[in-house]
Amino acid sequence: MLEENRVNFSAYKNNEYYPGPKVKILIWTFINAFFFNNSFAVFNSLKLFILKIFGAKIGANVLIKQSVNIKYPWFLKIGNNVWIGEGVWIDNLTQVSIGNNVCISQGAMLLCGNHDYKKKSFDLILGEIQLDEGVWIGAKAIVCPGVKCHTHSILTVGSIASQNLDGFTIYHGNPAKPVRKRVIQE
């Protein structure tokens, strides 16, 4: 194989990406480790207050459990009545919008970044994530960059969404495929 057909990480340039001032990122890294990304039971109201101080838009009645890792709260918008389970990783290198009545179950990941495997320099690719009203992301499921989960869609346990999810539809597998309609009863 020719040398020019190989990845060269020394050519990686990330100059265009600016998530915020380095001091702000450093302070957040320590606060995230102490208050969020650990197994201690920190008061939920304190966590929500801290997120708001760092620029997150937070609705009413939001519950964030232990060991949740949030990359940059200033790129986070959460609606009302949202549950975020233990061990969730919100890798929001860019905007993540979570609608009302959304459940993100244990160990789920919302990943806003990827790399261009076709380029020698392995360039960073960003994509916003949107979870509309009533969405349920199952335990250990992964939502990839640029995905929109439309109203009341479900991504089942361990599934990977690399494309948009239609509303009121249940998805399963890797890659996630529709398996049935979601019917909500009284």
Closest by CA position to 153, among listed 111, 80, 84, 102: 102
Residue 180 CA: distances (Å) to CA of 69, 95, 171:
31, 29, 8
CATH number at residue 159: 2.160.10.10
Q: Answer yes or no: is 26 within a domain.
A: no
- Given this model, what pLDDT does residue 10 score? 87
Strand partners of residue 160: 142
pLDDT in tens, 32-85: 999 999 998 899 999 999 999 999 999 999 999 999 999 999 999 999 999 999
Strand partners of residue 149: 131, 165
Instruction: Name the 3-class secondary structure at 9.
Output: helix
Q: Answer yes or no: is 8 within a domain.
A: no
Q: Count of domains in the chain?
A: 1
Q: Flag whether pLDDT at 2 surpasses 70.
A: no
Q: Answer yes or no: is 89 within a domain.
A: yes
Instruction: Name the 3-class secondary structure at 179.
Output: strand
Domain that holds residue 79: 42-181
Place of tokens 């890798």: 91
Q: Flag whether pLDDT at 21 surpasses 60.
A: yes
